[in-house]
């Protein structure tokens, strides 16, 4: 596809922060109010992402009570999400999809590689957490022997290794955001499909299967308790509350993840097959929706637990600078 044709087809696609100049989109010298508000909002997302994940990292490293295999997986997830907030968010704000979509260069490839690597690492860490939860709920008697520090370390290394290979593959293949030029439809389709399969669809299928199994086992356990416990109104209410809480937790975990990631990857799969360029606003919105998952992960996987909330209160109050609280009993 010729560049001139692309420009002509998208010249009417207005962007609040960019303007068309000499066949290139450049940041406008007089940004509109919408642009200023947009970047303040995106900057706030970056700040919340960094601060939230930094709290998780400091909590797990500092408090000895949190030195368990499950939390090491959460620590790895927080590291990936922190790097998304530090590296990907600013690059995406200063040099958005608009520029890389039309003018692919080394910087765009490196930026895309960071984006793909860290996002994939985040997804794969979520997948590892689901595996950990499966053994904790479905095989509690053998959990400690199967999920130990060594196994957790291997899971973390595998997650980051696969993510790095996919990120490097993006640069080698010259693939960036589903772009197709010089009639490379087949190459773009293959690279897009492979990236989506290994970065999203396979982990999603694994997580959905695992969380479905966890939910079914949890329901079975609740039914067993109902059948063996003296059925007072109070006990039935407690069981129902437990069941609702388990259902709600699993729904939030998968619901937020799928809400953030599915639209983008569906778009990436069908983009090479379309004969028209996807509007800039759509691509940017979907891209930022995926990145926002890195901000939400600390709330879903850490804020949900009372001991993390206790750790956050101690850190935010500044007590860790006033004495040794590493052995503090967290509620």
CA distance linking residue 92 with residue 74, whole number of Å? 25
pLDDT at 50: 95
Query: What region, left, alpha or beta, does residue 183 occupy, with left being phi > 0 and alpha being psi -120 to 50 degrees?
Result: left
DSSP H helical ranges for the chain: 3-10, 33-62, 69-83, 89-94, 97-102, 106-138, 143-146, 149-173, 185-196, 202-228, 233-270, 280-301, 306-317
CA distance linking residue 94 with residue 82, whole number of Å? 18
Max CA pair span of the chain:
78
- Name 20's bridge partners: 25
CA distance linking residue 8 with residue 305, whole number of Å? 53
pLDDT at 177: 45
Superfamily per CATH, domain 3-321: Rhodopsin 7-helix transmembrane proteins (1.20.1070.10)
73, 152 Cβ separation under 8 angstroms:
yes
DSSP symbol at 66: G
The pair of structure tokens assigned to 206 is 């694994």
pLDDT at 267: 82
φ/ψ of 147, rounded to 5, equals -110, 85
Q: What is the dihedral of CA 107, 174, 263, 196, to 10 degrees?
A: -130
Per-residue pLDDT of the chain (331 residues; tens, 9 = 90+): 333 333 333 434 456 676 666 666 666 667 778 778 888 888 899 999 999 999 999 999 999 999 999 899 999 999 999 999 998 888 777 665 455 555 556 666 777 788 888 988 988 998 998 899 888 888 888 888 899 999 999 999 999 999 998 888 766 765 444 444 444 445 555 656 666 787 788 888 998 898 888 888 877 877 776 666 555 555 555 555 555 555 566 678 788 888 998 998 888 777 666 666 667 677 778 888 888 999 998 888 777 778 888 899 899 998 888 888 888 888 7
DSSP symbol at 147: S
Measuring CA to CA, how many Å separate 210 from each of 17, 80, 127, 131, 142? 43, 22, 9, 7, 17
- Name 27's bridge partners: 18
Tokens 């396979």, residue? 202
φ/ψ of 183, rounded to 5, equals 55, 40
pLDDT at 151: 95
CA distance linking residue 201 with residue 9, whole number of Å? 32
pTM strictly above 0.95: no
């Amino acid at each position: 596809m010729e560049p001139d044709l692309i420009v002509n087809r998208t010249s009417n696609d207005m962007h609040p922060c960019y303007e068309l100049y000499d066949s290139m989109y450049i940041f406008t010298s007089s940004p509109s109010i919408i642009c200023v508000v947009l970047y303040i909002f995106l900057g706030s997302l970056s700040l919340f992402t960094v601060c939230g994940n930094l709290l998780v990292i400091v909590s797990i490293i500092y408090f000895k009570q949190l030195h368990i295999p499950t939390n090491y997986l959460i620590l790895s997830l927080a590291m990936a999400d922190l790097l998304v907030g530090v590296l990907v968010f600013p690059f995406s704000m200063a040099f958005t999809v608009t520029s890389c979509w039309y003018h692919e260069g080394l910087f765009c490839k490196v930026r895309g590689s960071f984006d793909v690597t860290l996002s994939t690492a985040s997804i794969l860490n979520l997948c590892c957490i689901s595996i950990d939860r499966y053994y904790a709920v479905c095989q509690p008697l053998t959990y400690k022997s199967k999920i130990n520090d060594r196994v957790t370390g291997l899971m973390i290394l595998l997650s980051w290794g696969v993510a790095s290979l996919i990120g490097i593959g993006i640069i080698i293949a010259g693939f960036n955001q589903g772009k197709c030029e010089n009639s490379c439809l087949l190459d773009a389709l293959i690279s897009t499909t492979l990236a989506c399969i290994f970065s999203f669809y396979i982990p999603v299928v694994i997580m959905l299967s695992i969380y479905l199994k966890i939910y079914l086992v949890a329901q079975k356990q609740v039914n067993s308790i109902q059948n063996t416990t003296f059925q007072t109104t109070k006990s039935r209410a407690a069981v129902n509350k437990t069941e609702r809480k388990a259902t709600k937790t699993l729904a939030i975990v998968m619901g937020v993840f799928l809400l953030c990631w599915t639209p983008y990857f569906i778009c990436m799969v069908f983009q090479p097959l379309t004969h028209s360029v996807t509007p800039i606003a759509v691509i940017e919105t979907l891209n930022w929706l995926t990145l926002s998952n890195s901000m939400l992960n600390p709330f879903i996987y850490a804020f949900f637990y009372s001991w993390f909330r206790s750790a956050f209160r101690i850190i935010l109050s500044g007590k860790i600078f006033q004495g040794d609280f590493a052995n503090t009993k967290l509620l």
